A and B are shown apart, each in its own frame.
Chain A
Amino acid sequence: GQQLNQSPQSMFIQEGEDVSMNCTSSSIFNTWLWYKQDPGEGPVLLIALYKAGELTSNGRLTAQFGITRKDSFLNISASIPSDVGIYFCAGRGGSQGNLIFGKGTKLSVKP
């Protein structure tokens, strides 16, 4: 079945640094979503992307829908301790298809 390759698996950064993570797929997607999950909670939607080349921001977070439609990137600027958590990408290949999820990027921020 379809799989998403999300990298890196984990990141250990200093507060104030910028963060970058990405997801790639072997097939074309029409939708890319980015979620954040805190310990003991469900994933929370951060950004939704629906068009190739689209660049969308949500506060310090910026995500892009890759022009090839096979990848997406999430950037976090000036990280703070509350950015700690696991970030998941999810993609969908058609309008009625199911979401495919990446394995997540675990972010740790040192004050």
Chain B
Amino acid sequence: ETGVTQTPRHLVMGMTNKKSLKCEQHLGHNAMYWYKQSAKKPLELMFVYSLEERVENNSVPSRFSPECPNSSHLFLHLHTLQPEDSALYLCASSFGRREQFFGPGTRLTVL
């Protein structure tokens, strides 16, 4: 595998479910990001991890919980989501704060 990978690519969940999104980067980067992409809106930065420490949490509801066990892996744990949370969730990585490289995204649908 090369670049940034995300699994699953598609996820449908009910509002009472708990699920996790996974991201893995094979680029030797030391910073990882979660973004939310909704129709007709700019990408919204959710979380930033630098050297495995969370350095940014952009007022994201607590039903989203990130985890970064090492510099290559990033998770987004989801629980009791709302239908308006349906979106494309993108993971990205970078070396320091230089250009970011994105994964293919997870298309999330909350019923």
Q: Footprint of B on A, CB under 8 Å?
A: 3-4, 31, 33, 35, 40-45, 48, 88, 92, 95-104
Give every chain A residue within 8 A of B99 (Cβ-Cβ).
31, 33, 45, 48
- A41 closest partner in B (C-beta): B104
B76-111 vs A, Cβ < 8 Å mask (1 yes, 0 no)? 000000000000001010000101111111010000
A101 touches B105 (CB 8 A): no
Task: Name the contact of A42 in the complex, choosing from B41, B45, B90 (C-beta under 8 A).
Answer: B90
Check: B53 CB closer than 8 A to any chain A CB.
Answer: no
15 A-B pairs within 8 Å (CB atoms) are namely A3-B42, A35-B102, A40-B104, A40-B105, A40-B107, A44-B102, A45-B99, A45-B100, A92-B97, A96-B97, A100-B42, A101-B42, A101-B43, A103-B40, A103-B41
Q: Give the number of A-B contacts (CB < 8 Å).
A: 45
Give every chain B residue within 8 A of A40 (Cβ-Cβ).
104-105, 107
How many Å lie between the Cα of A100 and that of B42 in the bound state?
Answer: 8
Determine which residue in B40, B43, B102 has the highest number of CB atoms from chain A within 10 A of its CB, and name it.
Answer: B43
**3 nearest A-B pairs in the assembled complex, by CB-CB distance:** A42-B102, A101-B43, A101-B42
Check: B74 CB closer than 8 A to any chain A CB.
Answer: no
- B10 closest partner in A (C-beta): A40
B13 nearest CB across to chain A (Å): 19
B95 nearest CB across to chain A (Å): 12
Check: B48 CB closer than 8 A to any chain A CB.
Answer: yes
A97 nearest CB across to chain B (Å): 7
- A3 closest partner in B (C-beta): B42
B22 nearest CB across to chain A (Å): 14
A22 nearest CB across to chain B (Å): 16
Give every chain A residue within 8 A of B40 (Cβ-Cβ).
103
A41 nearest CB across to chain B (Å): 5
B105 touches A98 (CB 8 A): no
